[in-house]
Amino acid sequence: MTKKIRVILSKLPVKPGVYLFKDAAGSVLYVGKAKSLRSRVRSYFQASNSLDPAKQIMVSKIDDLEYIIVDSETEALLLEATLIKKHRPPYNVIFTDDKYYQYIRITLKDDFPRVETVRRIAKDGSRYFGPFTSGYAVKQTLELLKRVFPYRRCTEPANRPCFDARLGRCLGHDFGPGSRERYAAIVHGLIRFLQGDVASTLQDLKQQMQQASARHEYELAARLRDRIYAVQKVAAEQKVVSTKLEDEDYVGFARLADLTAVNLFQVRQGKLLNRQLLMLRQTAGQPDAEVLSSFITQFYAQSTDHPRTVVTRLLPTEHATVAQALLLRIEAPNRGRRRKLVLLAESNAKDYLERKQREWLSKEARAKLGLQELAQALLLTEPPGRIECYDISNVQGTYAVGSLVVFEHGLPKKSDYKKFRIKTVAGSNDYAMLQEVLRRRFGRHSPQRGEATAKPRGGEGGWPNPSLVIIDGGKGQLNAALAVLRELQVLVPTVGLAKREEEIFRPGQKESIRLPKDSEGLFLIQRIRDEAHRFAVGYYRQRHGTAAAKSLLDEVPGIGPKLKKLLLQKFGSVQGIREANDQVLESLIGKKKTGLLREHL
């Protein structure tokens, strides 16, 4: 224990809060909550503690700790979930892919609300549903809902009907008197449907059909009839699991080594409405109750659709606090219908875990074979554990950028990808641009220790030295890279990969290496090079698009930096500004400047 830690421990308050353990590089190792910060945090450093082996290793790495005082244990639990999602510490149970979750957003602040998918929730007056773990399932759901509720998803102004509106598939536009009220009824029905209230949706649609028929609006009545059939089809596919119309989630999980699969049955108004499959990692050595507590806390802290009750096989750790914080009841029935449904959820979780394991084993096996073939072809002493690949993207020297992608054990490590904006090279000189990128990456390399200390992502920890560096290009690019690496005394195997013939060039060798067309080694090195190219081109397009938009706005008199930023934030692009409603523009920048915008754009 360091002197700094001893001083902090002596001053810990006897209050609820959240604590963050950090290593010497400042990276967060673990986030925890406590009813009493003093007693909980101190317990990690006592000789008599009974920590599992992983936590013992964690404690040995702690160099600093930070804590946040809150008013209650409930607040501590919610803040813990937020900080775990933000920092993704290596010693907390975390979702494997929560950054890919999607939400359905309905922009209720708009006169004619749009329906879209997003990856984050914002306090913007919109209504959110989710998270959904399957993007495909969300797409399929929205396609069905579009037939039942002709909602608006376009960004066209409300007074300018989109293509779907002309076909009668979007009523989210101003078609005259009563348009807003009719569309509001559609949005209201959509929200109730997403909440699982199918019966009320059917009742409303039938009532609207009868009213349309009574008014002799037979085309409208026929469209409403078709929507009723679509809803009835969905209702018929939903399995009734209870006649009591409960809103409940049934959680089942299965574990294997460091992974835990979770199957979530979502029951709304007594019907099995949805199933979600999720994966947790870093669960080795954790008791089942602790893993379950971590899942429930993290999932429902970001969920927009809370049931009244969560049903599980066993009660999670500190279940009373968790339930109070999340406004849930957590129950573990010993027998009956609900127990059977939990066991069915666990059976599904086990099947999901086995399927994912087979997929990963297949990927890992191919990656392992590719690394072995690559090591053999490049005369390396062992398969490269960490491969870094560099690429440059520009058009005649403008908006030049570089990319670094990282593969560890043959698989992408996207958290270590890095973009470089070229700063020191003028004109079209790819060699000099590549050298700038390498100097910035290895500029603080320490040959005495044989490791790189360059810090990715704003200083969050140091990068290890790569086992292999791949340069996208032929002999010219390779020689330019080698000059910088020699200058910085970086001793790392380095090769160039020319795209035309897929030739691999090694330093000091006249002849190139060509791997067999069906070689896993060739597939691997192509994938790494293509990923670096994709990453660089994506950044170039981003820079070019932003600059192009700004340059057009620069030509408009009276539109300064603040107004440019405001307009681009509001409409996303120059095209969005062109298509914007004059009234909306005038409310932002005034009538005179709106006129100038129209003249120039």
Mark whether 179 and 279 lie in a shared domain.
Answer: no
pLDDT digits (tens, 9 = 90+) for 158-208: 777 787 787 777 888 888 888 888 889 889 888 888 877 777 777 888 888
546 pLDDT more than 60: yes
Mark whether 498 and 575 lie in a shared domain.
Answer: no
Averaged over 419-438, what is the pLDDT? Answer: 89
Q: Does residue 361 fall inside a structural domain?
A: no
Mark whether 234 and 315 lie in a shared domain.
Answer: no
Asked whether the beta carbons of 266 and 276 are under 8 A apart, the reply is: yes
Mark whether 429 and 482 lie in a shared domain.
Answer: yes
Q: Does residue 333 fall inside a structural domain?
A: yes
Mark whether 131 and 275 lie in a shared domain.
Answer: no
pLDDT digits (tens, 9 = 90+) for 72-129: 887 888 888 889 888 889 898 888 765 557 888 899 988 889 998 887 778 888 888 8
- Which of 57, 72, 87 represents a domain boundary (last residue)? 72
Query: Looking at the whole model, is its pTM more than 0.85?
Result: no
- Distance separating alpha carbons of residues 122 and 128, to the nearest angstrom: 9
The closest alpha carbon to 268, from 300, 312, 293, 235, belongs to: 235
Q: What pLDDT sits at residue 281?
A: 85
Q: What is the DSSP string of 339-381?
A: HHHHHHHHHHHHHHHHHHHHHHHHHHHHHHHHHHHHHHHTT-S
Q: What pLDDT sits at residue 456?
A: 40
What's the number of domains the chain is made of? 5
Q: What pLDDT sits at residue 81?
A: 85
Q: What pLDDT sits at residue 315?
A: 93
Q: What pLDDT sits at residue 233?
A: 65
Mark whether 10 and 130 lie in a shared domain.
Answer: no
Give me the residues paired with residue 35 across strands. Answer: none
- CATH label of the domain that carries residue 308: 3.30.420.10
| Run of H or E including 388 | strand 386-395
Mark whether 502 and 594 lie in a shared domain.
Answer: no
Averaged over 518-530, what is the pLDDT? Answer: 89
Domain holding 328, by residue range, is 248-354
- Which of 193, 210, 240 represents a domain boundary (last residue)? 240
Q: What pLDDT sits at residue 453?
A: 42
Averaged over 40-46, what is the pLDDT? Answer: 90
Averaged over 521-543, what is the pLDDT? Answer: 87
Q: Does residue 520 fall inside a structural domain?
A: yes
Which of the four pLDDT bands, split at 50, 70 and 90, describes residue 296?
very high
Q: What pLDDT sits at residue 262?
A: 93
Mark whether 538 and 390 lie in a shared domain.
Answer: yes
Mark whether 577 and 508 lie in a shared domain.
Answer: no
CB within 8 A of 573, min separation 6: which ones?
545, 549
Q: What pLDDT sits at residue 448?
A: 39
Mark whether 397 and 456 lie in a shared domain.
Answer: yes
Q: Does residue 528 fall inside a structural domain?
A: yes
Q: Does residue 594 fall inside a structural domain?
A: yes
Q: Taking the CB of residue 167, how many other CB atoms lie within 10 A of it?
A: 10
CB within 8 A of 71, min separation 6: which ones?
16
Q: Does residue 335 fall inside a structural domain?
A: yes
Taking each continuous run of H as one helix and of E as one strand, the counts in the chain are 19, 20
- Which of 199, 218, 240 represents a domain boundary (last residue)? 240
| Single-letter code of the amino acid located at 44 | Y
| Range of lowest pLDDT (127-136, 240-249, 336-345, 467-476) | 240-249
Coil/strand/helix, residue 80: helix
Mark whether 402 and 536 lie in a shared domain.
Answer: yes
Q: Taking the CB of residue 335, how many other CB atoms lie within 10 A of it?
A: 7
- Distance separating alpha carbons of residues 123 and 528, to the nearest angstrom: 39
Q: What pLDDT sits at residue 174?
A: 81
- Distance separating alpha carbons of residues 16 and 35, to the nearest angstrom: 4
- Distance separating alpha carbons of residues 273 and 256, to the nearest angstrom: 28
- Check residues 428 and 8 and name the one with the higher pLDDT: 8
Alpha helices in 133-287 (DSSP H): 135-148, 163-166, 179-194, 198-214, 218-237
Averaged over 40-50, what is the pLDDT? Answer: 84
Quote the percentage of the chain above a pLDDT of 90: 28
Q: What pLDDT sits at residue 98?
A: 57
Mark whether 233 and 134 lie in a shared domain.
Answer: yes
Q: Does residue 91 fall inside a structural domain?
A: no
Q: Does residue 472 fall inside a structural domain?
A: yes
Quote the percentage of the chain above a pLDDT of 70: 90
